[in-house]
Chains A and B, each alone.
Chain A
């Protein structure tokens, strides 16, 4: 097996995707097949080969420290699922400690 159901469950948690049991089973099968296919990469000799992060070599351009425009409140919250008029996005409570 290239991937187990437990690993799929853990990965789904990391990716914040709620999967039904049926989806979990199907996903495991599919990912197993796909990852099985990926194993062939292990056959390639990559000794001394640098990874390619950028397809075309480029230097990082740097920008001047000059202010640009801000979004108006009407634009910031235009498609916000939940927000307050005093200027905040609102989300279900985050809990930090066991107190």
Chain B
């Protein structure tokens, strides 16, 4: 009686090129309305499209990174419908001969035996232009239109219906976001709309043919993806178990009400009347160009993660955190390139660095500086505790750690005589606590360590302090 969800995802990735796909107007996000319009954007009579090389290169990068075949000859097509945010009354897209086909997205998911790598096949990736934005005015019988976004280049990424659960959908989408950010082709930001997602959802009983699917739209966050799909699966199951049928329709997700509703049925089903775009000759991608782009690809997230685990011995958790953003991974690699051990570098970055970064603390630390701190701990110059202080000062001032240590005399005290003296002093001055320790309260050792650290401004080598204290306290 178990129902099997069958989910396919259609993502639109807004490409971070400077100009729009088919005209030289700015593609940047966030400008005042209708300030990024040019004659083509407004579909003025007599205007024509001219394709940007950058948009194609970004798309090919994504295609190669997902193992797609890149078509040597691909074509553009017109997709027709009437809507105020679609200035020409058609969108230039690709239909029969898309740029990229038959790829795969790998992503990491928590499985029954820990993290596993899953795969979703891609049907195609193609290039098209975005529409403008309709702004609804509550309470007024009008809508407002802003064409800044009209013409911004998009990659449409269509998956096969291989996604099996809301959690997988979320993980797939996060993997897409991570990938496009790694490739430097998009911000992958769902809140700003540079990554959008529609889901096709159906359910069936195991072994049976595919059920009727519905299309879910208005999913505008990672959380929404999982919630919306989960709601839809439950809705369909409930219908089918009642003996009713699932209607093939498009439904809009309402994040406030946490439910979906059918889109107002268009008077007629969409007939996009696709035909090849006459204003654009076919696009040729020769081997040389394709391979040059392939050569420029960075190491991809999953490969990097695997290398961090297998070659560098990091834990899967650390590898995940370090490879989440390419910036972080690059920083990590710069630190270890300067001789820092991988585990130590990982700890510092996943700990101190990211904590401050996420908090938005004023300041920064360079790879050289962090490597230096790690080296100073490694060769015993400073203790781990002092190092945190040095880090803090380096973060805020930008001064070199070695210089901070010297200027403030933070070098660790490792002289046995000095440590011995400080320990004896602490024990003599605190007979009551010594009594308690000897009576069996092992935790009191920490109290003495604290006293010694206070007396030595934290510079005493903790391991040596521990040893000496134990000897003193145990012996008497």
A residues with CB within 8 A of B: 10, 13-14, 16, 53-54, 57-71, 73, 76-77, 84, 86-99
Contact = CB atoms under 8 A, between A and B. Distances in A.
B42 interface: yes
The 10 closest A-B pairs by CB, nearest first: A68-B24, A88-B144, A62-B53, A65-B54, A87-B33, A58-B281, A89-B145, A53-B276, A60-B281, A60-B283
Given A59-B284, A63-B24, A96-B263, A69 B145 contact: no
A30 to B, nearest CB: 21
19 contacts: A13-B267, A60-B280, A61-B50, A63-B50, A65-B53, A66-B19, A69-B38, A70-B25, A70-B35, A76-B34, A84-B144, A87-B34, A88-B33, A89-B34, A90-B145, A92-B141, A94-B84, A94-B136, A97-B252
Given A10-B268, A61-B50, A66-B24, A89 B84 contact: yes
B23 interface: yes
Q: Could you say which of B32, B35, B262 has the most chain A C-beta atoms within 10 Å of its C-beta? A: B35
Given A63-B24, A67-B18, A99 B261 contact: yes
B268 A70 contact: no
B358 interface: no
Interface string B1-38: 00000000000000001110001111000001111111
Interface residues of B, number: 56
Nearest to A57: B281
A92 B82 CA distance: 14
B135 interface: yes
B241 interface: no
A41 to B, nearest CB: 16
B278 interface: yes
B420 to A, nearest CB: 69
A60 B37 contact: no
A88 B146 contact: yes
Contacts of B141: 92-93
Contacts of A67: 18-19, 24-26
B52 A87 contact: no
B314 interface: no
A63 B51 contact: yes
B19 A68 contact: yes
A88 to B, nearest CB: 4
| Most chain B CB neighbours (cut-off 10 Å) among A60, A90, A95 | A60
A91 B143 contact: yes
Given A60-B282, A89-B84, A94 B143 contact: yes
B319 to A, nearest CB: 34
